[in-house]
Amino acid sequence: MILILAEKPMAGARIASILSGGKAVKKTFKKHPYWEFEFNGRPAVLVPLKGHIIDVDFPKELNRWSEDTLRDLLSAPLLSRATEYNVVQLLKSLAPSVEEIIIATDADREGEAIGLEAAEIVLRERKVPVRRAYFSALTPEDIKNAFENLREPDYNLAASAYARREIDLLWGAVLTRAISLFTGRRGKNFLSVGRVQSPTLALVVEREREIERFVPIPYWVIEAVLHDGGVDFKANYAEGQIWQEPMARMLYETAKKAKTGKVVRTERRSDKIPRPVPFDTTTFLREANHLLGISASEALSIAESLYMKGLISYPRTDNQTYPPSLNLRKLVSNLTKIPDYKPFAEELLAQDVFRPSSGRKTEDHPPIHPVDVPKGKLSEKERKVYDLIARRFLATLMAPGTLERRKVHININGVPFVAEARKIIQRGWTAVYPTNIKEVEVPDLPDGAPVTVKSVKLVQKKTQPPSRYSQGELIKRMEALGLGTKSTRAEIVAKLFARKYLSGKKKIKPTELGRRLVEVLERHAPDIVTPNMTAQLEADMDRIAKGEKRKDDVVSESKDLLSKVLDELMQNRDRIRESFGDAGGAAA
């Protein structure tokens, strides 16, 4: 019997249906589904997992939180335990009949670890070959191709995931317990501190400080409303901002006396509007947050649901360049089935070749793109996310747009003004995907033409502080600093909201609790809230995946770093308690 391991029941059902030609028989073991069918002339059983079915934890005797056991956590053995007991029992019951294992979990770091830890349950009972089906989409073509071209499992990749799990458990447990104990916050009011979440929280706190430190500087602008050819249009003082009020008032008083102005000259130019690059995970999350108002964690969850339904490619990727093997023409042809996309898809299909835009190129999964069209009903948010991904895909293949800019220089009683027109004269990709270009209409006037001055205004403004992060912007910043991975960043941000360290929908700000926590850590254990150490650990885990470092060595080095941080915290325990002050009693 061939044992096939899928990551989740929805993916398992789809893979079983594809491999069996729709003939797979669904069965259950203690309410957990699995499928039986014939594959390549041999009996096969597909067992879907529930993500990790095995986890690691400290020995039970260390479950009690006390200062005396903090250092014991660093030297304690980490014990494996089943988190999905029924799935483990099912695998054990099947083990005597298994002749080969094929791992068909998500093709990334976590998927490799999830598949291999499940395979190990069977291997302890019976030594059999283990192969890997690697795919980027749950389509019949991708799945069949993956099972016709099985690979060896990537044990180094799985080891890097195991290393991350152990390191995150150690750092999270030690730091969370230490800070919670030192501040007197136990039980439900504990303070969560983490290797990635704490420096991420510090980014938001520091941005809030920048906003608070910002001292606005006043300046003045002069705005005119002009009229010609039946059209009102705006012009501004040609030199822009005026920093001295007397100068601004003198120019304003001069200009406002005029009833007419004269066109001096017109400057024209045409600019290409570059196409957006294909979606990697970070860019997708930023756009879903910005354009759809969907949080990063929810957007990723919806994308995973669309992937499970066989509608889009795997949504966790750093790649922004379509591989040559991707059949772009077939993907575009699929989209002709949807009326909203049909004219754009047909326009593309009329071309002999496609020349897609591109960005960062990695050996990762291809950029996120549609692989099929919905045949059943989608939720409103699923429909919006699918639409965003489909439109982005089309935009990366269409022609660049063309923007015409005109600067009309106008003399108003000796004071120079300029009116700026912007018009998209070739829509290109902007016909299918949103652009932030605002078109502005200004009459096309010949040199020397008179214009009517309807009004002139002197407006005082102030320089503005930096804006708060959106969720998408914060995730982009995390990526730039090496905080977390494409798979974990949205989850980290969601956790900060759940812990009530952050608030805000479109723009994020720290809560008083989140800010106080960062201040305490900065003062008494600054390494926890700076990105350098976390980014170095991320780099080390990448080296494990490449076979350049051993998992045990990286975990050991991480323990040494954590030990130094814990020493620092313990030396400052009294100051931490004092500096946290009345926030120690606030609700977490």
Query: How far is Cα 148 from Cα 402, in angstroms, rounded to an integer?
Result: 46
DSSP structural state of residue 279: B
Phi, psi of 152 (to 5 degrees): -80, 145
Residue 155 annotated in active site: no
Identify the sign of the CA torsion 142, 148, 149, 151: positive
In the structure encoding, which two tokens stand for residue 413, read together? Answer: 């009683």
Tokens 């044992």, located at residue: 3
User: Looking at the chain, how many residues does it have?
Assistant: 588
Give the count of beta carbons closer than 10 Å to the beta carbon of residue 506: 10
Query: How far is Cα 39 from Cα 26, in angstroms, rounded to an integer?
Result: 15
Query: How far is Cα 284 from Cα 470, in angstroms, rounded to an integer?
Result: 14
Q: Annotated catalytic residue: which of 134, 252, 307, 314?
A: 314
3-class SS of residue 432: coil
Query: How far is Cα 250 from Cα 271, in angstroms, rounded to an integer?
Result: 36
Query: How far is Cα 444 from Cα 437, in angstroms, rounded to an integer?
Result: 20
Query: How far is Cα 432 from Cα 436, in angstroms, rounded to an integer?
Result: 13
Closest CA to 255 of 293, 288, 285, 225: 225
DSSP structural state of residue 488: T
Identify the sign of the CA torsion 454, 460, 463, 467: negative
Within 13 Å of residue 424, how many CA atoms lie on the same side as its CB? 16
Closest CA to 284 of 268, 307, 261, 267: 307
Output the DSSP codes for 209-275.
HHHHH----EEEEEEEEEEETTEEEEEEETT--B--HHHHHHHHHHHHT-SEEEEEEEEEEEEEEPP
DSSP-derived pairing of the beta strands 100-104 and 401-412: unpaired
3-class SS of residue 16: helix
Query: How far is Cα 321 from Cα 392, in angstroms, rounded to an integer?
Result: 13
DSSP structural state of residue 364: S
Pair 11, 138: CB distance under 8 Å: yes
Pair 367, 326: CB distance under 8 Å: no
3-class SS of residue 411: strand
Closest CA to 295 of 467, 479, 488, 490: 490
Q: Which residues are catalytic?
A: 314
